[in-house]
Structure 1
Amino acid sequence: MTGRTDQAPEGAQDQGAAAPNVAFTALLEDSAEDLYEEAPCGYLSTLMDGTIAKINTTLLEWLGLAREDVAGRMRFTDLLTVGGKLYHETHFAPLLQMNGEVGGIALDIKTADGQRIPVLVTSKVKTSHDGQPMLVRTTVFDARDRRAYETELLRARQAAEEARRQAEADRERLQEALAVLQRSLLPAELPTVPGLEASSYYHTASPDLLGGDFYDLFPLGGDRWAFFLGDVCGKGPRAAAVTSLTRYTLRAAALHDPDPVAVLTTLNTVLHERYHSVAPRYCTAVFGVLHPGNDHVSVHLAAGGHPSALIQRADNTAHYLPTPGGMLIGVLPQARFTSARTRLFPGDTLLLYTDGLTEARTGSERELYGEDALRAFAAEQPATGPRSLITALSGLLAGFGDGLDDDTALLALGVPAPPPASPVEDLKS
């Protein structure tokens, strides 16, 4: 067989060609005039003086005007609002004259009943064969949906800005409240102790969080004074509650039995009984008793899980007062605490601190500052008393920058050094 078996039946090709012909005929259903008049946007042509020569039905319906009242009787600027006229005269018309066309300019046209419609206007100058301007063809797009969107976007932006301002105000109020609460967990000022100088400092790592560091200095009666410094695990309101309970427990326990180990044992019992059945809460602390003597102050202290106290001596040396083996306070029903004794002579300073200081990150390698660096720093400072040492340490903390990410409490107690002898006294001697 020589004929092809895959040929279409007779007449099938004509039927297939009919479909595009039908679609093409549908496109030609409207005349060019109909397309112009019923277009989804407004069209108009104006003479060079702005007189409207032709305008389509769409734009007339938007304006609510009759063709005979517009064509040949009104100028394009007569369709604009006062603000639109001003913009047309100062910007639109000069740009059109200079460039021959202007596209996408936002204006407002006014309707017969006084309403305004936001539109986007595009105009182009039609020229003759010799390049002379003949008329201006203008297309007007309804921008009411766009204006509504922009209005809603502006409203949302304003609402977001107001929410941001409100959030900033709320944050400031929260920080103020937290600062007040933080101060309530610390003594407003240290008391004056005869024969002793005391100084303290508290560095807040974040103003948005309550820290758990605490300290205090208070009389026991007679010539004895108690002091403590510690750090509650965690931050925020729960840590603050533990801090408050810890401070008042230490004060009450010290008035009952001021022995440092006994005081920390009482605190361990209170915290364990209060929190072991819910969320475990614990702290580290140093508690001690000061007993001034004739030429010195005796110090008896105990520590539970806390860094050892540092002593800066009058001879510009510094060393730690070890309290090894002291356990975290509140973790176990029975805990062991380590005590130590020392004496402070004129010019000596006892420094208590929380681990935010020694765990600060330093240098490009972000290494821990550490206890050795702290001891060396204290030895380098003039042995001129607690206030001087605290001032130097506060500067050190500030120098850590973002490497200091934990709250830090400092408490320094010392015996003032005698004032240097005057030349007259040296002669008398």
Structure 2
Amino acid sequence: MTGRTDQAPDEEQDQGLSAPDTAFTALLEDSVEDLYEQAPCGYLSTLMDGTIAKINTTLLEWLGLSRRDVAGRMRFTDLLTVGGKLYHETHFAPLLQMNGEVGGIALDIKTADGQRMPVLVTSKVKTSHNGEPMLVRTTIFDARDRRAYETELLRARRTAEEARRQAEADRERLQEALAVLQRSLLPAELPTVPGLEASSYYHTASPDLLGGDFYDLFPLGADRWAFFLGDVCGKGPQAAAVTSLTRYTLRAAALHDPDPVTVLTTLNTVLHERYQSIDPRYCTAIFGVLQPGNGHASVHMASGGHPSALIQRADNTTHYLPTPGGMLIGVLPQARFTAAHTQLFPGDTLLLYTDGLTEARTGPERKLYGEDALRAFVAEQPGSGPQALVTALSGLLAGFGDGLDDDTALLALGVPAALPASLSEDLICAG
């Protein structure tokens, strides 16, 4: 027994393999075949005319077909959907013929029950030792998860696009609503005042925010007219609410007692009582009364913390009408306001403005435009009346560009210039 035991290894060595080596080789062959058949992707080999010569179990299971149904009986294109077959013929096959390989192409295969299955296909031509093409080896990866991911991305993109369009539509509607509300806080047009000329302008710095600037001109009776211009602190709906309250308070107070100081005192009481305990709000304003006379107009006005009115005389001299000491409106329960009087003669114009004009930033150093520059600008304009002055100032505002970051309101009132004697005679004769 000992001799026979010693002889077995010698015989195996003569055959060139030991028993473990033989078992390993057999196991390796089984593993390679099993790896091909049960791989996590599909494998197939086709002849050069596309006939399927070999296909692995994984792909057969995806297709729901048996090996005898496929091998030698079907072409690769028979596995594709109509769209996939068209793409294969027009793109895939020509690229494979030119380059010898094609990688990562998205196609759809059809299963036995008629379902579409998205896959990624990679093909490579195998050639003989003399370079002749022999067959095509193709690897097919399941792309259902990827397709689901892409579908979800596409759905999310469409949802985002729809949300963006909705947001733009909402923004447009909001801007329209803000514009309507802004217009409701200002007179649609100024009334015609016998013996006087009036002009106004409103510059909106941001279409997305309601401004707090306001103005008005309205009759008091007995040939008297009230006017006011002001600026509420802040922007947005809260400022708009204060603006609305301010405008209607000034109108109501003026009809009760048109004295400018009394009107501003009433407004101060209303704002202070309304906002002191919840959200302090205040404003600046000029209120005045105009009374046209024989070729002139008397002006009685008062200011509460507002920039002084500017007067352009017919001879182009320009000066401010000082109202020193006027306090902000709505801050304190008791506020002091300063009254001022002047006369407007033919060719004279009274200009009221909000501080967006004088606080505009100009030049490389972004300096404040300032009251001195405004007075110099007005002095350079011909004394052609309120409309001409407001037109010139609106051009000035436009020239500030992004240096004008606050809303600006303008209100100009004046007495028309007297006609030359010769022209008056011509008009009388023509009449």
- Give the alignment's TM-score, normalised by structure 1: 0.91
1:285 aligns with 2:285: yes
Question: Secondary structure of the equivalent of 1:219?
Answer: strand
Aligned position for 2:237: 237
Find out whether 1:321 has 2:332 as its counterpart.
no
| Structure 2: gaps spanning 5 or more residues | 1-23
Residues 101-143 of structure 1, C-alpha deviations (whole Å, 9 max, x = no match): 1111111000011100011111111111111111111111111
Return the alpha-carbon distance in structure 2 between the equivalents of residues 383 and 86 of structure 1: 81
Q: CA deviation at 1:280?
A: 0.9
**Distance of 1:142 and 1:346 partners within structure 2:** 90
Deviation at 1:418, TM superposition (A): 2.7
The match for 1:247 is: 247
Which residue does 2:195 correspond to in 1?
195
Determine the C-alpha separation between the residues in 2 that align with 1:289 and 1:238.
Answer: 29
Aligned equivalent of 2:173: 173
Q: Which moved more, 1:399-408 or 1:61-70?
A: 399-408
Q: Is the 8 A contact 2:211 2:239 kept in 1?
A: yes
**Could you tell me which residue of structure 2 aligns to residue 375 of structure 1?**
375
Helix, strand or coil at the partner of 1:31: helix
For 2:9, the equivalent position in structure 1 comes to none
Question: CA separation in 2, counterparts of 1:183 and 1:293?
Answer: 32
Match of 2:138 in 1: 138
- Residue 301 in 1 paired to residue 313 in 2? no
Asked if the contact 2:360/2:400 (under 8 Å) is kept, the reply is: yes
What is the match of residue 70 of structure 2? 70
Q: Check the 8 A contact 2:214/2:231 in 1, yes or no.
A: yes
Does 395-404 or 74-83 show the bigger shift?
395-404
Map 1:29-428; keep pairs closer than 5 Å. Answer: 31-420=31-420
**Distance in 1 (alpha carbons) for counterparts of 2:158 and 2:54:** 43
Deviation string 1:264-285 (CA, Å, 9 cap, x unpaired) is 1111111111111221111000
Which sits farther off after the overlay, 83-92 or 414-423? 414-423
SS of 2:106's partner is strand
Report runs of 4+ in structure 1 exceeding 3 Å deviation. Answer: 27-30, 419-426
Whole-angstrom distance in 2 between the partners of 1:66 and 1:257: 102
What do residues 138-161 of structure 1 show as CA deviations (whole Å, max 9, x unaligned)?
A: 111111000000000000000011
TM-superposed CA distance for 1:328, in Å, is: 0.2
Query: Match of 1:369, as an amino acid?
Result: Y
Which deviations, in whole Å up to 9, do the C-alpha atoms of 1:170-196 show, x marking residues without a partner?
A: 111111111111111111111100011
After TM superposition, the structure 1 stretch with the greater mean CA deviation from structure 2, 398-407 or 260-269, is 398-407
Q: CA deviation at 1:239?
A: 1.2
- Measured at CA, do residues 423 and 258 of structure 1 come closer, stay the same or move farther in structure 2, by a change above 3 Å? closer
C-alpha displacement at 1:317, in angstroms?
Answer: 2.6
Distance in 2 (CA, whole Å) between partners of 1:28 and 1:347 is 111
CA distance in 2, matches of 1:382, 1:93: 82
Please provide the CA RMSD for this pair. Answer: 1.8
**Residue 28 of structure 1: CA displacement?**
5.2
CA contact (8 A) 2:195 2:295 kept: no
Q: Residues of 2 paired with 1:367 and 1:155: CA distance?
A: 51
Tell me which amino acid in the other structure corresponds to 1:350.
L
Q: What is the CA–CA distance in structure 2 between the aligned matches of 1:251 and 1:410, rounded to whole Å? A: 19
Cα distance in 2 for residues equivalent to 1:420 and 1:88 = 92
C-alpha distance in 1, partners of 2:67/2:382?
Answer: 98
Q: Is the 8 A contact 2:213 2:232 kept in 1?
A: yes
Following TM superposition, by how much is the alpha carbon of 1:395 offset from its aligned partner in structure 2, in angstroms? 1.6
Q: Distance in 2 between matches of 1:163 and 1:279?
A: 34
Secondary structure of 1:416's aligned partner: coil
Code of the aligned partner of 2:410: L
Alpha-carbon distance in 1 for matches of 2:30, 2:149: 33
Residue of structure 2 in register with 1:4 after alignment = none
AA matched with 1:382: P
- Which ranges in structure 1 are unaligned for 5 or more consecutive residues? 1-23
What SS does the aligned partner of 2:316 have? coil
| Percent identity over paired residues | 90
Task: Give the letter for the 1:411 counterpart.
Answer: L
1:13 is matched with none
Code of the residue aligned with 1:319 in structure 2: it is: H
AA partner of residue 321 (structure 1): L
